[in-house]
Copies of this chain bind each other. A is one copy, B any other.
Amino acid sequence: MIEEALLEINRGTAEIIDIERIEKLLKAYFDEGKNYTVKAGFDPTAPDLHLGHTVLLQKLATFQKFGARVQFLIGDFTATIGDPTGKSATRKVLTPQDIAKNIESYTSQAFKILDESKTDIVYNKEWLDALGSVGMLQLASNLTVARMLERDDFSKRYASQTPIALSEFMYPLLQGYDSVHLKSDIEIGGTDQKFNLLMGRQLQKSYEIKKQQAVLMMPILEGLDGVQKMSKSLGNYIGVTDAPNDMFGKILSISDDLMWRFYELLSSKTLNEIADLKTGVSDGSLHPKSVKEALALEITTRFHSEDAANNAKSEFDKVHSKSQIPTDIPEFSCEGEVWIAKALLDCALEPSTSQARRDIKQGGVKINQEKVADEKLVLTTGEYLLQVGKRKFAKLKVN
């Protein structure tokens, strides 16, 4: 059981620091039913989650299966702080109302993945405000300038003489102090957060918290292109509030490689179940498209409902089949109005007007992808896509 838990916790991770601590926490849970805490921080300035953000949430949900209480940390302290230098265009000043609205939106999405009964939503403004001027200064005394400049992005900016505001040095410390206040056992975050996550460990030591948090880092999810990270600004994202049809369709559009990546990082299927799917695809008993459909159904169900997901699938199938139109359709034109049966004959779609009338009666003729019900229809000036059966197409321009 503990082995299975460890496998699921390890699943898809980029790096784990202090796996021994995690093992001990799991052992205490399985042996004695003792719970432990897993912290993850969320920025309330951007209320729209996309699937990339949910990688962390999935991992938190996994931990919840195995005894964890999640410390769902809302970073509301810095959100109200503007950047007086105006150097950072990304940092907008939000009103408390904006933030409250964002948090509401954020958590309602998050609880589609997390178990609410095992989640504590916490706001760092509470204890960071209480730190006060003196507390901030004491916090700052825990780190050296040289150590801070070792952080990858800082060292690059310093070397290239790109200004680094002194306050930027404070943010990792504040994030670390959150772990001190919360006495977190584990913190999870993206690989880009490594420095800040380790800061939590360091500060817990400085502030004499008995045991330091283990750190688990998740990779950054790729976007629809399968190459760049999923991001709103790159337009390659699947938003968790995307309409069911969009969500379903976007997932079906990804490559097979990316599909397996999504299974690993986003699916609630177990590792064994995913292994079975892979076997099925490789021995030919499963079509990759149906595996992708199953993923799209799972994700769409998660953020909407099973009905919405099934409807999305039907709609997709319909649209998908509708859109099976060849790109090289022969084109015709004629002068004046024309009877539909005559038009089908002229465009070489039917051998005779009588055959055309029979096909129309049987529902086998479409104009602009809509079935023709009336065999006496007359086409007036305009352009038409004529179709007989599934395969025969022609374009007709009536002048």
Contacts and interface: CB of A to CB of B under 8 A. Distances in A.
A177 to B, nearest CB: 10
A249 to B, nearest CB: 44
Interface stretch (A81-89, A96-104, A250-258): A81-89
Nearest to A82: B138
Interface in A123-143: 128-138, 140-143
Contacts of A165: 140-145
Interface stretch (A32-40, A166-174, A222-230, A317-325): A166-174
Given A132-B132, A133-B133, A164 B145 contact: yes
B83 A141 contact: yes
A80 interface: yes
Q: Give chain A's interface residue range (CB within 8 Å of chain B).
A: 35 or more
A169 B166 contact: yes
A301 B83 CA distance: 55
A140 B166 contact: yes
Interface string A50-83: 0000000000000000000000000001101111
Given A80-B134, A133-B129, A133-B131, A164 B141 contact: no
Interface of A: 77-78, 80-85, 128-138, 140-146, 148-149, 154, 158, 161, 163-167, 169-170, 173, 206
Q: A-B pairs with the 7 shortest C-beta distances? A: A141-B167, A140-B167, A140-B166, A136-B136, A144-B163, A145-B164, A141-B165
Given A78-B137, A84-B206, A141-B166, 11 more contacts: A77-B133, A83-B141, A84-B138, A131-B133, A132-B133, A140-B165, A140-B169, A141-B167, A144-B166, A146-B161, A169-B169
